[in-house]
Structure 1
Amino acid sequence: MTRNEILAEVETLLNTYCNGCFLKKHHRQENGKRYAHRFCINECTVGEKIKKCGQKL
């Protein structure tokens, strides 16, 4: 995969699953922005997919 294809895949994942995510919104309100961001990267399955795409770059 080329760099542009990987970036397009990440953009698609973000637009499809992360925009309007209930869990992100909930964690941000209850525990703060830092906790919500950490949750999305380390525990969310979509975050894991995005992390794998980032490793390809």
Structure 2
Amino acid sequence: MTRNEVLAEVETLLTTYCNGCFLKKHHRQEKGKRHAHRFCIKECTVGEKIKNCGQKL
């Protein structure tokens, strides 16, 4: 995959799943922005896919 293809895949994942995510909104309200961000990166399946795309770069 080229760099542009990987970036397009990440953008697609973000716009499809992350914008308006109920879990992110809930965690942010209950425990704060830092916890919500950590949840998205470590526990969310979409976050795992984005992390794998980042490793390809």
Output the aligned Cα RMSD. 0.1
TM-score normalised per structure 2? 1.00
Q: Structure 1: 5+ residue runs without aligned partners?
A: none
Query: Is 1:12 equivalent to 2:8 in the alignment?
Result: no
- Quote the residue 1:29 is aligned against: 29
TM-score normalised per structure 1? 1.00
Alignment coverage as a number of residue pairs: 57
4+ residue segments displaced more than 3 Å: none
Work out the CA distance in 2 between the residues paired with 1:4 and 1:33.
Answer: 29
Counterpart AA for 1:56? K
* Structure of greater relative contact order (alpha carbons < 8 Å, 6+ residues apart): 2
Q: What displacement does 1:9 show?
A: 0.1
